[in-house]
Amino acid sequence: MGERVLVTGGAGFIGRAVSKELLRRGNEVRVLDSLIEQVHGDRGRPEDLPDEVELIVGDVRNKDVVARALKDVDSVIHLAAEVGVGQSMYAVERYTSVNETGSAVLFEALIDHPVRRVVTASSMSIYGEGLYEDADGNLVEDAVRKPRTSDTQSWDPLDEQGRPLRPIATPESKQPSLASIYALGKYVQERQTLIMTEAYGMEGTCLRLFNVYGPGQALSNPYTGVLAIFSSRLQNGQRPLIFEDGEQRRDFVYVGDVARAFADGLVHPKAVGEVFNIGSGNDRSVKQVAQSIARALHRNDIEPEVVGKARIGDIRHCFCDGSKAAETLGFRAEQDFDEGLAELAEWVAAQTADDRVDEARAELEAKGLVA
């Protein structure tokens, strides 16, 4: 028999996929979402949010709305958050309020409306730089990039002898290195989840998501995932903007796989009190990804623009060691990247996207956050 699950932020890109997966597994789903304009435009209830999903439109910071959303709920998947590393570095109060205070309001409400389990979305951004090896094979957990002062200087972190460090897959055991307000907020959400669920007799689990992509992304939000931003630019005949030299490496995981991970995390007995990486286990350069989505959209004629500048708060390399999720939960990402891109491209072709990337870049530059 399924449960009644509250999904905060459940009308968003990941939330809609999670809601569908929960329904597929026989659960009832209630969504709490503020439907903010930056993500949803002014369209109201998303067309692809299933009719069976009960939608409460409200702010996770409103304790009365949260209490109403929790009524007769068995478990919670907590996705509600402002998303965007770059924007978090100047919209500091907004990101802190929604991500940290919003979660605090939720967990305070859970004292009076306890549930069996809370699964919270965290982020690979909490790692800062990923894990590296030096030239002698020693692990380096605290790699730091020095600001570039010349065009000949390496984009990559270096060891004390000036030798490039080699990026390797990042496991959950790596210490956090919080390089942005967004990363700080996601780490606070993690700790709130694990502290409060244990203190009040509930179960808590956190999933550190890597770069999630797929149909349904917010194409008009210039602070969303890089694949959505690239897609929006290409659809509008504009060159994708790539910061640095485009060789920074990331792990892209399909939204359907992420939805499975949340549904698994909600029920697996070994998930309690744990934090798991959720990624594909494959790393790609940002430049490769830009070229791949251009091919999928049949826009090979549009070459990406490599900016040669870095955004403050960005990291060089971080990709997923997913062995803990595989061994503990039996979870492995299954979607082939190129097939997932083809699905994304087919969906994008039917959308109208407002390209706000130049506007967002100008905002970052005006605040001194691009160097």
Sequence-separated (6 or more) residues with CB below 8 Å from residue 71: 113
How far apart are alpha carbons 91 and 367 in whole angstroms?
A: 11
Assess contact for 207 and 214: CB atoms under 8 A: no
Q: How far is CA 53 from the centre of its chain?
A: 23
How far apart are alpha carbons 315 and 41 in whole angstroms?
A: 29
Whose structure tokens read 């990363």? 183
In this structure, what are the phi and psi dihedrals at residue 22, rounded to the nearest 5 degrees? Answer: -65, -40
How far apart are alpha carbons 118 and 77 in whole angstroms?
A: 6
Residue 55, SS3 per DSSP: strand
How many residues in the chain?
A: 371
For 305, the token pair is 């623009």
Pairing mode of beta strands 28-33, 4-8: parallel
Which 8-state DSSP code applies to residue 164? Answer: B
How far apart are alpha carbons 63 and 69 in whole angstroms?
A: 10
Assess contact for 218 and 40: CB atoms under 8 A: yes
Residue 180, SS3 per DSSP: coil
Amino acid letter, residue 325: A
Residue 242, SS3 per DSSP: strand
Is 182 known to be catalytic? yes
Radius of gyration of the chain (CA): 20
Instruction: Work out whether the CA dihedral 65, 44, 29, 124 comes out positive or negative.
Output: negative
The residue annotated as part of the active site, out of 95, 127, 132, 182, is: 182
How far apart are alpha carbons 243 and 316 in whole angstroms?
A: 10
Tell me the three-class secondary structure of 103-134, residue by residue. HHHHHHHHHHCCCCEEEEEEEHHHHCCCEEEC
Q: Which positions are annotated as active-site residues?
A: 182
